[in-house]
Structure 1
Amino acid sequence: MILLTGFEPFGGEEVNPSWLAVRRAGELLGSEGIAVDVVELPCVFGESATVLTEAIARLNPDIVVCSGLAGGRARISLERVAINCDDARIPDNKGQRPIDEEVIPGGPAAYFSNLPIKAALRNLHIAGIRGEVSQSAGTYVCNHIFYVLMNALASRPGTRGGFVHVPYLREQLPEGSPGPSMPLEAMAEGIAVIVRTALHTQADVKLSAGAIR
């Protein structure tokens, strides 16, 4: 069983491409005979964590890929690390704006994704889809849910998971804007590539994908 999650719209946006992309990715994977469930998470600190952990308990997935929007990025970002810090630049959809608070009080400073992110990056490039390994998932609800996910999986050694960010859709940008975007079908296929890679790759590959800043 594969669990895919995306977020509801936030920050005044009418859509969130992460949710649209995982729905479509679920259709693609389902057509290949892969059991998939998709869950939309509220863009709310705490509440999103509850929805995610309840879904994990209900579905008992083998792989969990959570996704969110990173407007301004040009590639699908395979997030490497989640940090135990909520520091919201803008309020969430319930008006909460935690500053310098721990996601889980007393939890580890950070968790690493246990998806084969380097192999997934290689396979994204082979498929002609722009991808990157990201060293920061931010400190908003995306990082919040990434940290909660990896904390939950720490007690579920048979389950692997991680987080990916997707760019804006072209239609979300102002008319004539040169800002980065990606077609929905490319996002969906990218998420499907990540899932397929995780299904068939136990040990990640060695591939340079670091950053100097």
Structure 2
Amino acid sequence: MILLTGFEPFGGESTNPSWTAARGAAALLEAEGHDVAAVELPCVFGDAIEALLAALAEHRPDLVVCAGQAGGRSRISLERVAINCDDARIPDNAGNAPVDEPVVPGGPTAYFSTLPVKAALAELGAAGIPAEVSQSAGTYVCNHVFYGLMHALGSTPAVRGGFVHVPFGPEQVPAGSTLASLPLEQMTQALAVVVRTALATTADLKLAAGATH
């Protein structure tokens, strides 16, 4: 069983491409014969993890790929590290704005993704989809969910999981704006590629994809 998640719109947007892409990728994978579920998470600290935990309990997946929107980024971001810190630059959809609060009190400082991020990077490149390995998922609800996911999966190491950020969709970028975006079809295909790569890969590639800053 594969679980894909995306978020509801936030920050005044009327859509969130992470959810559109998650639903689309689920449909693609289901057509290929995979058992897949897609779940929309609220963009709310606390509630998002509760919804994720409920989905994990209901579907009992073997693989989990959570997605979120990173407006301003130009590539699919394969997140490597989740940190135990909530630090909201803007309020969430319920008006919460935690500052320097732990996602899980007493939890580890950070968790690494258990997805094969380097292998996925190579496959996305081969598919012509711009992608990168990201060293930071931020400190907003996306990182909150990423950390919550990896903390939950710590008790079930056979289940692999991680987080992928997608850019704005073209419809979110005003005409004449220099903000980056990607077609929704590419985002959808990207999530499907990440899932297929994870299913086919037991050991990640050793491929240079770090950052100097």
Q: TM-score range by the shorter chain?
A: over 0.9
Give per-residue Cα distances to partners, 1:82-111, cap 9 Å, x unaligned. 000000000000000000000000000000
- CA deviations on 1:26-64 (whole Å, 9 max, x unpaired) are 111111001110000000000000000111011110100
The residue type paired with residue 179 of structure 1 is: L
TM-score (ref. length: structure 2): 0.99
| CA–CA distance in structure 2, aligned partners of residues 131 and 66 of structure 1 | 16
Partners in 2 of 1:55 and 1:171 — Cα distance?
A: 29
Aligned-partner SS, 1:3:
strand
C-alpha separation between the residues in 1 aligned to 2:24 and 2:177?
Answer: 26
Unaligned runs of 5+ in 2: none
3-state SS of 1:66 partner: strand
1:91 corresponds in structure 2 to: 91
SS of the residue corresponding to residue 92 of structure 1 reads: coil
Find out whether 1:41 has 2:47 as its counterpart. Answer: no
Q: Does 1:169 align with 2:162?
A: no
Aligned equivalents of 2:74, 2:36: Cα separation in 1: 27
Residues paired across the two proteins, number:
213
1:165-213 Cα shifts (integer Å, max 9, x gaps) = 0000111011121321000000000000000000000100000000000
**Which residue number in structure 1 is paired with residue 152 of structure 2?**
152
CA distance in 2, matches of 1:201, 1:80: 16
> What amino acid is aligned across from residue 7 of structure 2 in structure 1?
F
* 1:118 partner SS: helix
Amino acid at match of 1:194: V
Aligned to 1:109: 109
Aligned to 2:27: 27
**Is 2:174 the counterpart of 1:179?**
no
Partner residue in 2 for 1:210: 210
In structure 2, what is the equivalent of residue 119 of structure 1?
A: 119
Query: In 2, distance between residues paired with 1:18 and 1:181?
Result: 12
Please name the residue that 1:15 is paired with. Answer: 15
What is the distance in 2 between the residues matched to 1:198 and 1:166? 18
* Partner SS, residue 162 of structure 2: strand
Q: TM-score, normalization: structure 1?
A: 0.99
Q: CA RMSD in A?
A: 0.5
Identity of aligned pairs, percent? 67
Question: Cα distance, 1:132 vs. partner?
Answer: 0.2
Structure 1: distance between partners of 2:177 and 2:51: 35
SS in 2 for 1:123: helix
Q: How does 1:122-137 map to 2 (within 5 A)?
A: 122-137=122-137
